[in-house]
Amino acid sequence: MEETQETDTTSLISDINDIVIHDPVVSKSVTENDPEPSSSEQGSSYEILFDQLKENNKHIFVLSTAGKPIYTRFGNENQMASLFGLMIALVSVTQDSNDTLQSICCGQTRIVFLNKDPIILVGVSQSSEPNDQIKKQLTYVYNNIISTLTLTQLKKIFHNRTNFDLRRLMSGSERLIDKLILFTENDPGFLLDSISCLQMPSSSRDKITQTILTQCSKIKNLVFGLLIAQKHVISIVRMKKYSLHVSDIHLILNLINSTESFKTAETWTPICLPTFDSSGYMHAHISYLAEDCQACLVLLTIDHNLFFALSDAKRKITEKMRCNDCLHEINEAIIRQPVSLARANITGLRHLLYKNKNRSQHWCPPFTSPYNTNALQQNLMSVYSSLISQMNFPGRTLKVIFQQLTAETMLAWVTDDVELYMSFEPLVSKECATNAVTKLTQWMKKEEDSLFIFNIPMF
Amino acid sequence: MPTEVTVQNLYIFNSTLSKTEDDGAKKILFYYPEHEDENKKVLNIGHIEAVICFARNFNANESCESLRTEKSLQVLYNAEPDFWIVITVSAECKSKQKSSESPDEPVYCTYNLQEPIYLAVLKHWYHTFQMAVGSMTKLMNDNDPDYLRLMLNKFYSKYLQNTDVSSHTFMDMFQGISFLPLDNAIHLNAQSFLNIIENTFQQVHFTMLLYNDSLVWSGLNKRQTQLVYSYILMWVLPEIAKKDNLVKGNSLQQCLANQLVGRFITNVWAVKTDSWISDLGKVPIFRLNDENDETFKSYRLVMYKAHHSIVCMFIKMENPLTADLYNTLDQFLGTKLHLLSEKMKNTVEKTLASKLYTERPAKFVYFNGMNLAIKNSIKHSNTAATTNRPSEFNLSPDALRVLVDISSQQSYMHPTYSVMIKTSNDNWVAGRLCNSREIYIVLNQKLTKLYDVDSEIQSLCAQEFGTIFFYD
């Protein structure tokens, strides 16, 4: 009854093997067939291009160390040859003196370089974003490339042919990178290195986890199991001694949330988790639980022959969950209004980010008044972003920041277990702000069971 | 972890001076270290030119400010069109235990290098150069590049030799002026004394009065006051401290045998000096302008010291500095300046004694952008303009770096701004900005509650800056 659906990724992989090992000519012909704009067109398009470079807030460029374009967020990378040439020159001159180019600052503009031989990533931000955050974005983009190719493959490709045009293998994943960059710009999880969990009573969550665990523990070579609802994680199970890193989970979340086809059919796809193991593929069985329950189950294994076993396991999990009412509880949790900060009833507090450091999980309540517009929310996020980077600045980490700005008063508070970033009304008193921390900590004690996943069982 | 900062190089170049690929060396106007390999110089400059050009693609309106690599930080200052001043600094961590894998491999901590500190040095030096010699563009057009090279070399070599840029911290960013706190009567007294000088001696165009290292009054505009003030602090006061030099190496003593009360200060280093009669010693020359006049004119700076005070007189170039003039000045100034200086001493001591203060484990810096005044309890002025006695604790380099972070955030983010920060070693660091007044405070107390910290800051401000309004 199930049918294996080959995804872009799988076909990509076979492409790699074809090209690198059997037929290097194919890629060559592709490169040569690239449409070359005529010289008159080129002049005007250059002007447009360079206007674009100044306009867009965040550029990301990826190129090979040989100067071949791989990815650009805006515009057409074919027109950026001269720009890419300059990037390569800057990187290699620095390398010649045994050093690594990191960043350029120019007024509000920040240009950050990430040299991951055989590819180079360059990020440009026009809003004086902290350098380390741009660097992290570049690392995410790099990881996404690794997740489709593996580092071993990537190195092999460029070892065999330094001039290789990687775009040939990237055709499916450019869209993923676009989405991933959006994720890094909007999601507090990226800033906090943490995941967001679907809020539900801990008893329901335990029941779900137990159901998954019972099925998974029977399967040899299954390493991780994840249940995801949109941007939130419902449950995680894992093999003894192994754990899933936050940045790998972010990649999985991005893959699932950017691929509509997963909703219609179960999928069997190789994926490399760069932080877990950048050298090899894992195989992911991805499927939504049921037509009437839009939670996505991801089962990760190292055994590429396990499709039918996993498919079977998934069917049993869904059946079991239908019987013990889990599907219903998940649906309720998905449609339920997320818990609002107003429930904590803290005077002057407008919004916050709360991170449980031990669990690498965060809670970001829905935006309420006065953060009604997208622009205001974006603005608050960039205030958070700057606070987070100040708190964690290498060489001088901080414990508390209390900042009175024109539109709001911000408090950042870090202890061994918790990172807390709060936005208050502008004229809040220091006393009030300190009390808010205490009050919130107490309130979180009651609520955190439903906001965070405390039980990540092993098998 | 202690950080060891090294200045790798400092260079000035103008790309328009090199026309072909082979004459790349022509664009170098100044390069430190001087003995660097010529090819290396050209290569480094070429690299920075490429960076500047690359950055223009993304920001055409602002000039490139800095470049970071794993091992170094380069700070760029586009002083005049096509003229760039660049400094390269590197930082190594001096940890006690070396990493086991590579014991000889240095560990770099460039994150401890902060752009604003070095940009402030470059700007301050350039402005001083401009005041002493002139703008680079004009020097090059009026003379030739070689003349500019000569002047730059004279100036920058001396400044690099005399200043340890690698030890610069937050405190070196402001180049603020420490004003002497005086009551109204004595302040008017001082001002009228200077007015009388300007009226009696038509040659004297501007005057300025210092008591120890604090400024009492200046007739120059604030930027020029700041530059002349820092020149005096850097080159004149240390010389005076060495005592012998007031009339060092010249026969001024013989010409002016009757200098009883006061002394002329001559033969202090300046990039441009002048001697009317060699016997009388050399005096510095500066280019200054009136507030209502755009054109700069050169002035000779004659300094006269009596008691703890120095009066600076800027004399127009067309007026000769004769022994006669020196003698009349000496006779006119000597007793008057001495008496004024004693009066000032008394009031300063009286105000200090009358002020009740509690000792606080706190350090602060106050800077007013309007008059460039600085008041602090970190670097001590020997006038003791603050009532806060030097407390025992030393500011950690980390706390100073946090202060730089605060000040650079303030400058571009918000017109009014207040921040309190708890550092990893439990010190509290606070910053406030209001109407271009900035105050920075470091508390060495283990306080846990925000409002305790706040009230501590409030009472410190009340004690030190009772009359200054701060947005809270």
Contacts of B61 in chain A (CB under 8 A): 107
Q: Does B411 touch chain A (CB under 8 A)?
A: no
So what's the pLDDT on residue B359? 63
Q: pLDDT band at A27, cuts 50/70/90?
A: very low
* B421 strand-pairing partners: A401, B429
So what's the pLDDT on residue A48? 65
- Across the range A320-333, mean pLDDT stands at 92
Q: pLDDT band at A237, cuts 50/70/90?
A: very high
Q: Which of B59, B402, B443 to mutate to test the interface with A (most CBs of A within 10 A)?
A: B59
Q: Do B55 and A50 touch (CB under 8 A)?
A: no
So what's the pLDDT on residue A41? 46
The residue in chain A having the minimum alpha-carbon distance to the alpha carbon of residue B418 is A404
Contacts of A413 in chain B (CB under 8 A): none
Question: Which of A133-147, A175-189, B253-267 shows the lowest per-residue confidence on average (mean pLDDT)?
Answer: B253-267
Distance (Å, whole) CA A91 – CA A102: 9
Residue among A93, A398, A434 minimizing CB distance to B450: A434
- Using alpha carbons, select from B387, B366, B384, B383 the residue that is nearest to residue B375: B366
Residue with tokens 């290396």: B40
Residue among A87, A94, A109 minimizing CB distance to B59: A109
Residue among A86, A398, A433 minimizing CB distance to B54: A86
Question: Which of A14-23, A325-334, B206-215 shows the lowest per-residue confidence on average (mean pLDDT)?
Answer: A14-23
So what's the pLDDT on residue A124? 93
Strand ranges inside A322-397, DSSP E: 349-356, 361-363
Q: pLDDT band at B459, cuts 50/70/90?
A: confident
pTM: 0.87
Distance (Å, whole) CA B295 – CA B289: 6
Angstroms from B62 CA to nearest CA on chain A: 6
Residue A6 has pLDDT above 50, yes or no: no
DSSP states along A258-295: T-GGGGTS-EEEEE--TTT-TTS-EEEEEEEEETTEEE
Q: Do A433 and B450 touch (CB under 8 A)?
A: yes
Distance (Å, whole) CA B105 – CA B85: 31
Distance (Å, whole) CA B364 – CA B352: 18
Q: Please say whether the beta carbons of A356 and A444 come within 8 A.
A: no
Residue B332 has pLDDT above 50, yes or no: yes
- Across the range A284-310, mean pLDDT stands at 92
User: Which B residues, 367 through 406, put their C-beta within 8 Å of a C-beta on chain A?
Assistant: 398, 401-402, 405
What is the tens place of the pLDDT at every residue in A114-154?
999 899 999 999 888 899 999 999 999 999 999 999 999 99
Angstroms from A41 CA to nearest CA on chain B: 20
Q: Which of A403, A405, A428, A429 to mutate to test the interface with B (most CBs of B within 10 A)?
A: A403
So what's the pLDDT on residue B370? 82
Tally helices (H) and strands (E) across chain A.
15, 16
Residue among B55, B112, B449 minimizing CB distance to A111: B55
- Across the range B15-22, mean pLDDT stands at 85
Q: Does B61 touch chain A (CB under 8 A)?
A: yes
CA distances from A437 to A369, B402, B417 (A): 21, 24, 22
Q: Do B68 and A131 touch (CB under 8 A)?
A: yes
- Across the range B433-453, mean pLDDT stands at 83
Q: pLDDT band at B466, cuts 50/70/90?
A: low
* Token couple for A312: 């079977």
So what's the pLDDT on residue B249? 38
So what's the pLDDT on residue A115? 93
Q: Does B417 touch chain A (CB under 8 A)?
A: yes
Contacts of A49 in chain B (CB under 8 A): none
What is the tens place of the pLDDT at every residue in B383-401?
444 434 444 457 788 888 9
Phi and psi angles of residue B33, each rounded to the nearest 5 degrees, phi first = -70, 140
Distance (Å, whole) CA A390 – CA A419: 13
Q: Do A109 and B58 touch (CB under 8 A)?
A: yes
CA angle B345, B347, B352 (to 5 degrees): 100
The residue in chain B having the minimum alpha-carbon distance to the alpha carbon of residue A48 is B57
What is the tens place of the pLDDT at every residue in A353-401?
999 999 999 999 999 889 999 999 999 999 999 999 999 998 889 999 9
* A285 strand-pairing partners: A268, A299
Q: Does B109 touch chain A (CB under 8 A)?
A: yes
Distance (Å, whole) CA A129 – CA A385: 8
Phi-psi region of B82 (alpha: psi -120 to 50; beta: other; left: phi over 0): left
- Using alpha carbons, select from B15, B81, B5 the residue that is nearest to residue B48: B15
Q: Do B58 and A395 touch (CB under 8 A)?
A: no
Q: Please say whether the beta carbons of A181 and A153 come within 8 A.
A: no
* H or E element in which residue A105 lies: strand A101-106
* Burial of residue A144, with CB atoms counted within 10 A of its CB: 0-12 exposed, 13-18 middle, 19 or more buried: buried
Core vs surface per residue B211-231: b (16+ CB within 10 A) or e = bbbbbbbbbbeeebbbbbbbb
Distance (Å, whole) CA B222 – CA B250: 33
So what's the pLDDT on residue A47? 63
Q: Please say whether the beta carbons of B371 and B222 come within 8 A.
A: yes
What 3-state class would DSSP assign to B313?
strand
Pairing of strands B83-93, B3-14: antiparallel
CA distances from B303 to B210, B219, B329 (A): 10, 15, 11
Distance (Å, whole) CA A332 – CA B275: 92
**Which of the pair, A57 or B131, is modelled with greater confidence?**
B131
Angstroms from B410 CA to nearest CA on chain A: 10
Question: Which of A232-246, B39-53, B385-399 shows the lowest per-residue confidence on average (mean pLDDT)?
Answer: B385-399
DSSP states along A18-79: IIIII-HHHHHHHHHTSPPPPHHHHHHHHHHHHHHHHHSSEEEEEEETTS-EEEESSS-GGG
Phi and psi angles of residue B158, each rounded to the nearest 5 degrees, phi first = -65, -45
The residue in chain B having the minimum alpha-carbon distance to the alpha carbon of residue A101 is B69
- Across the range B8-26, mean pLDDT stands at 89
* Token couple for A285: 């069985």
Helices marked H in B285-419: 323-354, 397-413
Contacts of B193 (CB under 8 A, 6+ apart): B209, B336, B337, B340
So what's the pLDDT on residue B96? 58
The residue in chain B having the minimum alpha-carbon distance to the alpha carbon of residue A111 is B55
- Across the range B127-145, mean pLDDT stands at 92
Question: Which of A191-195, A295-299, B297-301, B443-447 shows the lowest per-residue confidence on average (mean pLDDT)?
Answer: B443-447
Residue A232 has pLDDT above 90, yes or no: yes
Is the backbone peptide bond immediately before B397 cis, with ω within 30 degrees of 0? Answer: no
Q: pLDDT band at A236, cuts 50/70/90?
A: very high
Q: Chains A, B: CB contacts under 8 A, how many?
A: 141
Residue among A106, A124, A128 minimizing CB distance to B64: A106
Q: Does B37 touch chain A (CB under 8 A)?
A: no
Q: pLDDT band at A255, cuts 50/70/90?
A: very high
Contacts of A56 in chain B (CB under 8 A): none
* A431 strand-pairing partners: none
- Across the range B110-139, mean pLDDT stands at 93
Mean pLDDT of chain A: 86
The residue in chain B having the minimum alpha-carbon distance to the alpha carbon of residue A49 is B57
So what's the pLDDT on residue A206? 93
Q: Which of A105, A132, A390, A437 to mutate to test the interface with B (most CBs of B within 10 A)?
A: A105
Q: Do B421 and A401 touch (CB under 8 A)?
A: yes
Q: pLDDT band at B457, cuts 50/70/90?
A: confident
Q: Does B450 touch chain A (CB under 8 A)?
A: yes
- Across the range B119-128, mean pLDDT stands at 95
Distance (Å, whole) CA A45 – CA A391: 43
What 3-state class would DSSP assign to A185?
helix
So what's the pLDDT on residue B260? 63
- Across the range B170-198, mean pLDDT stands at 89
So what's the pLDDT on residue B384? 42
- Across the range B117-136, mean pLDDT stands at 94
Q: Please say whether the beta carbons of B336 and B371 come within 8 A.
A: no
So what's the pLDDT on residue A13? 41
Residue A444 has pLDDT above 60, yes or no: yes
Please state the separation of Cα A348 from the chain's center in Å.
32
Q: Does B427 touch chain A (CB under 8 A)?
A: no
Q: Half-sphere exposure of B323 toward its Cβ, with a 13 Å CA cutoff? A: 14
**Which of the pair, A413 or B408, is modelled with greater confidence?**
A413
Residue among B63, B414, B424 minimizing CB distance to A398: B424
Kindly list the strands in the beta sheet with A267-271, ordered across the sheet, starting from the edge strand earlier in the chain: A232-238, A222-229, A293-301, A282-290, A267-271
- Across the range B280-298, mean pLDDT stands at 83
**Which of the pair, B100 or B83, is modelled with greater confidence?**
B83
- Across the range A327-341, mean pLDDT stands at 90
* % of chain A surpassing 70 pLDDT: 88
So what's the pLDDT on residue A40? 43
Residue among B62, B419, B454 minimizing CB distance to A107: B62
**Radius of gyration for chain B, computed over Cα atoms and rounded to the nearest angstrom:** 24
So what's the pLDDT on residue B245? 47
* Token couple for A328: 């219903």
So what's the pLDDT on residue A210? 93
Helix/strand/coil percentages in chain A, nearest 5 = 45, 25, 30
User: With the C-alpha atoms ordered A314, A319, A321, A327, is the resulting torsion angle positive or negative?
Assistant: positive
Q: pLDDT band at B251, cuts 50/70/90?
A: very low
So what's the pLDDT on residue B259? 58
Q: pLDDT band at A11, cuts 50/70/90?
A: very low
Q: pLDDT band at B450, cuts 50/70/90?
A: confident
Distance (Å, whole) CA A59 – CA A63: 13
* H or E element in which residue A382 lies: helix A374-391
Q: pLDDT band at B208, cuts 50/70/90?
A: very high
Residue B248 has pLDDT above 50, yes or no: no
Question: Which of A69-83, B4-18, B116-130, B322-336 shows the lowest per-residue confidence on average (mean pLDDT)?
Answer: A69-83
Residue with tokens 């306009």: A55
Q: Do A109 and B449 touch (CB under 8 A)?
A: no
Q: Do A398 and B402 touch (CB under 8 A)?
A: yes
**Which of the pair, B358 or A163, is modelled with greater confidence?**
A163
Residue with tokens 């006119």: B332
* Token couple for B161: 């030799």
Q: Do B414 and A101 touch (CB under 8 A)?
A: no
The single-letter DSSP state of residue B172 is G
So what's the pLDDT on residue A409? 93
So what's the pLDDT on residue A208? 93
Q: Which of B63, B421, B425, B442 to mutate to test the interface with A (most CBs of A within 10 A)?
A: B421
* Residue B125: Cβ within 10 Å count: 21
- Across the range B144-158, mean pLDDT stands at 94
Give the ipTM of the model, two decimals please.
Answer: 0.87
- Across the range A69-84, mean pLDDT stands at 83
So what's the pLDDT on residue B301? 92
Q: Please say whether the beta carbons of B33 and B63 come within 8 A.
A: no
Residue among B51, B111, B405 minimizing CB distance to A104: B51
Residue B412 has pLDDT above 80, yes or no: no
Contacts of A50 in chain B (CB under 8 A): 57
So what's the pLDDT on residue A23? 34
Q: Which of B37, B42, B54, B433 to mutate to test the interface with A (most CBs of A within 10 A)?
A: B54
Distance (Å, whole) CA B263 – CA A218: 97
So what's the pLDDT on residue B175? 86
DSSP states along A201-254: -HHHHHHHHHHHHHHHTTSTTEEEEEEEETTEEEEEEE-TT----HHHHHHHHH
Question: Which of A192-196, B77-81, B366-370, B427-431 shows the lowest per-residue confidence on average (mean pLDDT)?
Answer: B366-370
Core vs surface per residue B279-315: b (16+ CB within 10 A) or e = ebbbbbbbbbeeeeeeebebbbbbbbbbbbbbbbbbb
Angstroms from B399 CA to nearest CA on chain A: 9
Angstroms from A335 CA to nearest CA on chain B: 40
So what's the pLDDT on residue A26? 34
Phi and psi angles of residue A391, each rounded to the nearest 5 degrees, phi first = -65, -35
Q: Do A431 and B450 touch (CB under 8 A)?
A: yes
Residue B183 has pLDDT above 90, yes or no: no
So what's the pLDDT on residue A20? 35
User: With the C-alpha atoms ordered B188, B190, B196, B201, is the resulting torsion angle positive or negative?
Assistant: negative
Helices marked H in B201-300: 222-231, 237-241, 252-255
Mean pLDDT of chain B: 84
So what's the pLDDT on residue A164? 86
